[in-house]
Amino acid sequence: MWLPIDERHLLLGYYVNIFNIDDKNVCRYLDSPKWFEMSDWTTILAKPNWIPMLTPWLVKHAARNVKAYGGSDKAPTSKNKGVDEFLEEVKIHIKLDRRLQFSNSGLEKRKLISVQRHQRCDEVAGISLTIEGCDLGRKYSSWWTRSGLLFAEYKNHWIWVVVSFLGGVVGALLINWLSRGASGE
């Protein structure tokens, strides 16, 4: 299944953060949720998408840095910012928080994750992956399987017709150019 980009990155981030890759006992991680301050996950959505091959690596790196609730040693930063800079940061945070909520609800509707709200703190949620979410997160974590998912999703898509046509044209031109070079000698 090929998910929208925000959901794909969040699922990959949850998989990398929650699961110990070396541990083969997956059931240990499926039963109990891992609690996070959800605003920490907005950094995953803020990663640039300029180079699609590099973005999953950036997402994995950022996801490993997200600490579980109660385990972060974040000190409040107080910088002297102007009102305009502060308002811009608030707008960006609200936008990213909405994207995070929308993506989490999409993953939950697809039954890839389960989200449990904290009883006392609204910003904290417990995230646990389902078996399907774990499997899809594992597939997104590797370039080879991720590209296989992309091809499996779009194998009948019109773009492959265009790509194959262009490949045929380029192949014909290349054969024509090589045959001219061989006959000219």
Q: What is the reported pLDDT for 134?
A: 84
Do 30 and 106 fall into the same domain?
yes
User: Tell me, what's the pLDDT at 80?
Assistant: 63
Task: Give the model's pLDDT for residue 128.
Answer: 87
pLDDT value for 22? 56
Same domain, 88 and 165: no
106, 170: one domain = no
Question: In this predicted structure, what is the pLDDT of residue 149?
Answer: 73
Dist. CA 80–CA 82, nearest whole Å: 7
Domain total in the chain: 2
Closest CA to 39 of 95, 107, 112, 109: 95
Low-confidence ranges of the chain (pLDDT < 50): 75-76
The residue segments making up the domain with residue 169 are 158-185
Specify whether 96 is located in the same domain as 182: no
